Amino acid sequence: EVQLVESGGGLVQPGGSLRLSCAASGFTVSSNYMSWVRQAPGKGLEWVSVIYSGGSTYYADSVKGRFTISRHNSKNTLYLQMNSLRAEDTAVYYCARDNRSFYDAFDIWGQGTMVTVSS
Amino acid sequence: QSVLTQPPSVSGAPGQRVTISCTGSSSNIGAGYDVHWYQQLPGTAPKLLIYGNSNRPSGVPDRFSGSKSGTSASLAITGLQAEDEADYYCQSYDSSLSGPNYVFGTGTKVTVL
């Protein structure tokens, strides 16, 4: 079965760090474009970051310089290292596969992991 | 902030047809980038509903259809059912000098009366 399972969310103080993981099954992370998308409580979806199959990485301006996307090929897992966290980073974080065959639509989503930044 | 604008809410009785608009600009939809639509049921992750403006993934009922024209796109739901009550988001791509920029719409809540 093709699926994504996130983990690593939790409560962290402002200025703190957290690393999210996204374990994939049924397909190879390194062969796909993989993104992180977040959703603040009661708000809409916001793209956060993408890693291309070739390894290039890109970020939304709101997280640039603070977040780092990466992957571990042998573990077939995607990561998001979040540093210098702010209250406005509070959200459910989803990992998603960008399917090139679907005109770059996000066809597979994880269940999400909640990150709360608060003192 | 979202660069694609959707109506906050739409509603309809069971069996009716509703449409959701997604308005962009010349740097995203109007630049020729594809539009995708997602359905988010309460408390769940988004689910791909329409990709490439008008294509349905396997398993999505043909009650859902998408179209695109100029700087806008639309999602239509015909034969509205109670299970269609959810939030719907459009998504495209915005040209930027700093790299890829995936953009989402503001979201529309569909209520079945």
pLDDT at B26: 92
Q: What is the DSSP string of A39-106?
A: E-TTS-EEEEEEE-TTS-EEE-TTTTTTEEEEEETTTTEEEEEE-S--GGG-EEEEEEEEEGGGTTEE
SS3 label, residue B67: strand
pLDDT band at B1 (very low <50, low <70, confident <90, very high): low
Residue at A1: amino acid letter: E
Over 70: is that where the pLDDT of A28 sits?
Answer: yes
Q: Which member of B46, B53, B101 has the closest CB to residue A45?
A: B46
B68 to chain A, any CB pair closer than 8 A? The answer is no
Question: What pLDDT, in 10s, does the model give residues A81-116?
Answer: 999 999 999 999 999 999 999 999 999 999 999 999
Count of H helices and E strands in chain B? 0, 9
CB spacing of A47 vs B104 below 8 angstroms: yes
Burial of B8 (0-12, 13-18, 19+ CB in 10 A): exposed
Query: Are the CB atoms for B95 and B27 separated by under 8 Å?
Result: yes
Specify the higher pLDDT residue, B1 or B85. B85
Q: What is the mean pLDDT of residues B1-10?
A: 91
Over 80: is that where the pLDDT of B99 sits?
Answer: no
CB spacing of B89 vs A35 below 8 angstroms: no
Taking contacts as CB-CB distances below 8 angstroms, the residues of chain A near B57 are 102, 107
How many of the other CB atoms lie within 10 Å of CB of B59? 7
CB spacing of B46 vs A107 below 8 angstroms: no
pLDDT at B69: 96
Q: Which member of A47, A94, A102 has the closest CB to residue B52?
A: A102
pLDDT at B95: 84
Taking contacts as CB-CB distances below 8 angstroms, the residues of chain A near B36 are 102-103, 105-106
**Looking at chain B, which residue has its C-alpha nearest residue A62?**
B1
Query: Are the CB atoms for B80 and B16 separated by under 8 Å?
Result: yes
Q: Which residue spans within B1-113 are E strands per DSSP?
A: 9-12, 18-23, 36-40, 47-50, 64-69, 72-77, 86-93, 102-104, 108-112
pLDDT at B3: 86
Taking contacts as CB-CB distances below 8 angstroms, the residues of chain A near B48 are 102, 105-107
CB spacing of B57 vs A58 below 8 angstroms: no
pLDDT at B97: 65
pLDDT band at B2 (very low <50, low <70, confident <90, very high): confident
Question: What pLDDT, in 10s, does the model give residues A51-63?
Answer: 999 999 999 999 9
> Mean pLDDT across chain A, nearest whole number?
97
With tokens 């689910």, the residue in question is B47
How far apart are the CA of A17 and the nearest CA of chain B, in angstroms? 24
Q: Which member of B45, B48, B105 has the closest CB to residue A94?
A: B45
> Mean pLDDT across chain B, nearest whole number?
95
Q: What is the mean pLDDT of residues B23-52?
A: 96
CB spacing of B107 vs A47 below 8 angstroms: no
Q: Which member of B53, B57, B89 has the closest CB to residue A107?
A: B57
How many CB pairs below 8 Å do chains A and B form together? 66
